[in-house]
């Protein structure tokens, strides 16, 4: 087992400002990156921008800018998006950087030397906004099959990559690596597509000027996907002999939207096979968001601005909603009303309430000093059990529930099922709230002979809140850090916590002085 984990977002086009779709992929990667760190892995997390191509050239022209000027302006939005969403990326790549030119040209040369690139003539239907060529069969009524906008007829000299040659090898590869494409349903789609036969792929253009020059072929620039996909290696220093590339490659997980899965699951491994480079371990395709039941579009004026969401609700609530609301991999519908509902009913009323109820009682009954769990456990063990939550089984109950939650989150994260991980955490918090309700510490507090039981109930509740804070850290990093500070004052940052050791029952320190409140998820007023 390697102790490294390399995860990537797609690189985002700079012809427009970031929207919820970009935020979604990046947040999903961030949650995974943070989780892997807590699992003890060294993580490299790359994101960045895709700055070449016709789309950007055209947008720049409209704005009377050079493509470079446009890219320099728009990239700032993407660079600012990462701290706004509390993203923990370790690298940021722009495809206009010299290091990327070196990488793309090197990959091109390798493929050429291996006889997989040849000069031909390209003719087809081209959709400018999608930067995709389509065949006669794919185009209906002169419209792009994915976006429905009009396509143009194009013919020009072009270098081709022998994708057709890789059909069998790809099919073999999918068979040997059943987890390469996830989720399963998407994997079947890709396999069916490859089984249908692959055409060679045009990888250069003479009509385009805004791109990376084809080595030794004046007039040709490298066509978008060959350029864009290579970013995943550029980010690690490819083709230099520095140790970074060896350390991190092959990528463990390329996270992408369902619309760009084919490029990652078919073209990318074929390019790498051709150049004799290891193929990535897996590609996961997530679904798309509609907004209040409608497709998100500029013309409808319903594009969700992630900066706006963060200003209104905070990064934690926004992150939480996106990963909790839909089964990761399926499409979902975004609405602020639902976001508020989720954040209030789960983050504020369940998690925030658990923590604050327990801290409030700790302050009231124990002057805020954490009672010793041993003392409580001892008493409980020697007392006959009449009242379920107070008996040893009662205490064991929450430690068992916590262990179950840790395991469930671990399994969910292995499956890239963020929604399941969050459901398991909320389930744990619900159990803990029920435990408080049924143990009635406010009744125990009235009888001095039940002081140890009272201490144990509060210990168990706070300890469960601590474990919930730990498990929430990949999803709501800021709030988790606050909870962690409230429960373990002066301790290490939650980012440095490790699931294997810090999720063990008993991490809450007896004798520690805790605050009487810890406001982490204020109720969102409608």
Q: Which of 112, 139, 194, 296 binds ligand MSP (CB under 6 A)?
A: 296
Q: Does 260 bind ligand MSP (CB under 6 A)?
A: yes
The most distant pair of C-alpha atoms in the chain lies apart, rounded to whole Å, by 90
Nearer to ligand MSP by Cβ, of 198 and 296: the residue is: 296
**Residues contacting 119, CB < 8 A, separation 6+:** 157, 158, 159, 160, 217
How far apart CA 450 and CA 414 sit, in angstroms, is 43
Q: Which of 10, 371, 373, 455 binds ligand MSP (CB under 6 A)?
A: 10
Nearer to ligand MSP by Cβ, of 231 and 503: the residue is: 231
Stretch of 8-16, 29-37, 213-221, 420-428 lying at the interface with ligand MSP (CB under 6 A): 8-16
Q: Which of 5, 6, 13, 521 binds ligand MSP (CB under 6 A)?
A: 13
Site for ligand MSP in 374-433 (CB under 6 A): none
Nearer to ligand MSP by Cβ, of 50 and 106: the residue is: 50
Q: Does 325 bind ligand MSP (CB under 6 A)?
A: no
What tokens were used for 300?
A: 């409808």
Q: Which of 228, 348, 514, 518 binds ligand MSP (CB under 6 A)?
A: 228
CA neighbor of 124 nearest in space, from 100, 77, 160, 166: 160
Q: Which of 11, 31, 203, 488 binds ligand MSP (CB under 6 A)?
A: 11
How far apart CA 59 and CA 65 sit, in angstroms, is 9
Q: Which of 32, 163, 256, 520 binds ligand MSP (CB under 6 A)?
A: 256
Q: Which of 173, 193, 288, 365 binds ligand MSP (CB under 6 A)?
A: 288
At which residue do the structure tokens 């409230």 appear? 486
**Whole-number minimum distance, CB 232 to ligand MSP, in Å?**
7
**Residues contacting 501, CB < 8 A, separation 6+:** none
Stretch of 11-19, 199-207, 354-362, 392-400 lying at the interface with ligand MSP (CB under 6 A): 11-19
Nearer to ligand MSP by Cβ, of 336 and 349: the residue is: 336
What tokens were used for 335?
A: 């609405």
Long-range contacts of 151-155 (CB under 8 A, 24+ apart): 151/125, 151/126, 151/127, 152/125, 152/126, 152/128, 153/123, 153/124, 153/125, 153/126, 154/122, 154/123, 154/124, 154/125, 154/126, 154/207, 155/121, 155/122, 155/123
Nearer to ligand MSP by Cβ, of 79 and 399: the residue is: 79
Q: Does 47 bind ligand MSP (CB under 6 A)?
A: no
Nearer to ligand MSP by Cβ, of 202 and 460: the residue is: 202
Contact in structure between 264 and 256 (CB atoms under 8 Å): yes
Burial of 327 (0-12, 13-18, 19+ CB in 10 A): middle
Q: Which of 74, 229, 317, 508 binds ligand MSP (CB under 6 A)?
A: 229
């Amino acid at each position: 087992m390697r102790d490294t984990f390399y995860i990537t977002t797609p690189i985002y086009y700079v012809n427009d400002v970031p929207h919820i779709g970009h935020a979604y992929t990046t947040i999903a990667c961030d949650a995974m990156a943070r989780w892997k760190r807590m699992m003890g892995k060294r993580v490299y997390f790359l994101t960045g921008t895709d700055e070449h191509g016709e789309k950007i050239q055209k947008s720049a022209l409209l704005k009377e800018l050079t493509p470079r000027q446009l890219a320099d302006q728009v990239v700032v939005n993407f660079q600012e998006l990462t701290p706004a969403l509390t993203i923990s990326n370790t690298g940021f790549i722009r495809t206009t950087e010299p290091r990327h030119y070196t990488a793309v040209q090197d990959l091109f040369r390798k493929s050429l030397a291996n006889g997989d690139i040849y000069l031909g003539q390209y003719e087809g239907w081209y959709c400018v906004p999608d930067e995709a060529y389509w065949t006669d069969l794919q185009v209906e009524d002169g419209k792009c099959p994915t976006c429905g906008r009009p396509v143009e007829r194009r013919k020009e000299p072009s270098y081709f990559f022998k994708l057709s040659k890789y059909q069998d090898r790809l099919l073999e590869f999918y068979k040997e690596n059943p987890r390469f494409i996830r989720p399963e349903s998407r994997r079947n789609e890709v396999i069916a597509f490859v089984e249908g036969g692959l055409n060679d792929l045009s990888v250069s253009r003479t009509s385009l000027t805004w791109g990376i020059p084809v080595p030794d072929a004046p007039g040709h620039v490298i066509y978008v996907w060959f350029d864009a996909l290579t970013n995943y290696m550029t980010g690690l220093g490819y083709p230099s002999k520095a140790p970074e590339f060896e350390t991190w490659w092959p990528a463990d997980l390329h996270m992408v939207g369902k619309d760009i899965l084919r490029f990652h699951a078919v073209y990318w491994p074929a390019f790498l096979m051709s150049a004799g480079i290891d193929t990535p371990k897996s590609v996961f395709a997530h679904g798309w968001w509609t907004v209040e039941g409608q497709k998100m579009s500029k013309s409808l004026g319903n594009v969700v601005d992630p900066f706006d969401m963060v200003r209104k609700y905070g990064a934690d609530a926004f992150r939480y909603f996106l990963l909790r609301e839909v089964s990761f991999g399926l499409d979902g519908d975004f609405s602020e009303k639902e976001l508020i509902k989720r954040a209030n009913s789960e983050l504020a009323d369940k998690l925030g309430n658990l923590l604050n109820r327990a801290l409030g009682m700790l302050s009231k009954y124990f002057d805020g000093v954490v009672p010793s769990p041993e003392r409580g456990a001892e008493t409980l063990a020697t007392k006959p059990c009449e009242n379920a939550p107070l008996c040893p089984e009662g205490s064991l109950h929450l430690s068992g529930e916590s262990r179950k939650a840790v395991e469930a989150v671990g399994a969910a994260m292995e499956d890239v099922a963020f929604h399941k991980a969050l459901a398991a955490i909320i389930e744990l918090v619900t159990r803990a709230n029920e435990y408080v309700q049924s143990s009635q510490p406010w009744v125990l507090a009235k009888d001095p002979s039940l002081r140890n039981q009272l201490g144990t109930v509060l210990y168990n509740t706070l300890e469960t809140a601590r474990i919930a804070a730990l498990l929430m850290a990949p999803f709501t990093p800021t709030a988790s850090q606050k909870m962690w500070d409230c429960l373990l004052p002066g301790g290490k940052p939650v980012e440095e916590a490790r699931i294997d050791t810090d999720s063990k029952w008993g991490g809450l320190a007896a004798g520690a002085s805790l605050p009487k409140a810890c406001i982490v998820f204020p109720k969102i007023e409608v």
